[in-house]
Amino acid sequence: MSTSSPVIDPILSAEAIAARKPGPFSLAGKSIVTPILLTLILLAIAIVTVMIGSKPFNQVIIDLFVRVILVVGLYVFIGNSGVMSFGQIGFTCLGAYVAAWLTINPMMKKMSLPGLPDFILKAKMEYWQAALLAALFAGVAALFFGRVLMRLSGIAASIATFAMLAMINTIYSNWDRVTGATSSVVGIPIVRSIWPYFTVAAIVIFIAWLHAISRAGLALRAARDEPTAAAASGIDIPKERLVAFVISGAIMGVGGALTAHSIGVVTPDNFYLSLTFVTLSMLVVGGMGSLTGSVLGVVILSALIQGLRFLEAGVPVGGSMLALPKGLQEIALGIIMIVILALRPSGLFGNRELTLNRNRSE
């Protein structure tokens, strides 16, 4: 037999392969039904909120949507790669400050952040323009950090991402003339309508789904489960991780911009250990390997947190107020997390996704 031109086996002919192409939306158990259902759940929450018409409740749900954006951002990298990153909230910080720089009234900026370059000092953008640039800026920063970090694995990678978070926090806490250091940067236009937050959360869910069903998503999950075999299957693991890291960074950045517009004030410590802990808890409780888990983890834990806050503030019982001691919220949250993880180590949803068809999982 000629060794340079192997015999082409008819079973593997181009025609046979072409005839087997599956439909575009039925790839590997990751059905388009999942992001649609998740979006509908958030839409229902938004409609109920508008119907209730309560301002404090409106703010609670805005916080919830922002958290959904952040936790889905975490899922894109951590869930698919299996690499625990403690640094993603650093990109949220970058995004929040971009929003502050670009949307605060130029007169105020001159006073509070005089070290900004002239073109930023003069800028006065709409919140959505600033949010897009925040995503871009955070994505570029993720590319910059990721090129180094993605070569690491396991605990070394996790520690390095934590170092990145600390580095960003330190820079932003000290660069007085550009970030206002640790003092609050005020004057960011507040967006009180719930719809921009809902819209971005829905878009982010679809982006995460598209990444998960893409070649990059499949390759990354394979590398997460069996890195040696993935490399032997032609997968460039650092590259696939970098792709997810950059998408995640951009999502975290837009989440940061919306955080800034939801409260109107930013300080570096808004985007540090406490937010990292809360968002990672939501991801882990929901199920790291599941988009459904990351969205519903936020909804479930946010409801719990609100319930506990309500009890901390005090409930009238008969003639007196019955209030839980302050700080119980964090303790109770910790206990709930431990219980959930003890009962379901891979989170409430594990690797499963919400679909109409039961037994769909990957």
Partner 1 sequence: MSYLSAEDVSVAFAGLKALSSVNLKITPGHISGLIGPNGAGKTTLVNVLTGFQAPTSGAVTLDGQPLTNLKPHQVRRRGIARTFQGGRLFRDLPVIDNLEVTGVGLGMSRRAAIAEAEAMLDWIGIAPLKNRIAGTLPYTDERRVAIGRALMGRPAYILLDEPAAGMSAPEASDLSDLVRRIAKSLGIGVLIIEHNVGLVLGLCDHIVVLDSGAVIEEGDPAAIRDSEKVRHAYMGTAADTVRANLEVMA
Residues paired with 243 in a beta bridge: none
Give the footprint of partner 1 on residues 198-217 (CB under 8 A): 213-215
Instruction: Report, in Å, the least distance between residue 223 CB and partner 1.
Output: 9
CB 288 within 8 A of CB 340: no
Query: Judged by CB, which is closer to partner 1: 139, or 217?
Result: 217
Which of 309, 301, 302 is closest to 339 using CA atoms?
A: 301
Query: Judged by CB, which is closer to partner 1: 312, or 362?
Result: 362
Query: Judged by CB, which is closer to partner 1: 41, or 207?
Result: 207
Residues paired with 321 in a beta bridge: 316
Residues 226-265 as x/- pattern, contact with partner 1 by CB under 8 A: x-xxxxxxxxxx----------------------------
Which of 307, 304, 289 is closest to 339 using CA atoms?
A: 304
Instruction: Report, in Å, the least distance between residue 76 CB and partner 1.
Output: 18
Selected binder of partner 1 within 133, 219, 291, 333 (CB under 8 A): 219
Tell me if 359 contacts partner 1 by CB under 8 A.
Answer: no
d(CA 321, CA 65): 31
Query: Judged by CB, which is closer to partner 1: 9, or 118?
Result: 9
With CB under 8 A, what is the number of residues at the site for partner 1?
A: 40
Tell me if 309 contacts partner 1 by CB under 8 A.
Answer: no
Residues 11-30 as x/- pattern, contact with partner 1 by CB under 8 A: xx---xxx-xxx-x--xxx-
Which tokens hold the place of 290?
């599941």
Distance of CA 85 to the CA centre of its chain: 12
**Which of these ranges, 2-10, 162-170, 174-182, 315-323, lies near partner 1 under the rule CB under 8 A?**
2-10
Tell me if 1 contacts partner 1 by CB under 8 A.
Answer: yes
Query: Judged by CB, which is closer to partner 1: 80, or 279?
Result: 80
Instruction: Report, in Å, the least distance between residue 2 CB and partner 1.
Output: 8
Query: Judged by CB, which is closer to partner 1: 176, or 226?
Result: 226
CB 123 within 8 A of CB 101: yes
Instruction: Report, in Å, the least distance between residue 79 CB and partner 1.
Output: 13
Query: Judged by CB, which is closer to partner 1: 24, or 319?
Result: 24
**Angle at 221 (CA atoms; ends 215, 223), nearest 5 degrees:** 100
Tell me if 345 contacts partner 1 by CB under 8 A.
Answer: no
CB 274 within 8 A of CB 185: no
Residues 116-155 as x/- pattern, contact with partner 1 by CB under 8 A: ----------------------------------------
* Residues of the shown chain interacting with partner 1 in the complex, contacts defined by CB under 8 A: 1, 3-7, 9, 11-12, 16-18, 20-22, 24, 27-29, 213-215, 218-219, 221-222, 225-226, 228-237, 351, 362
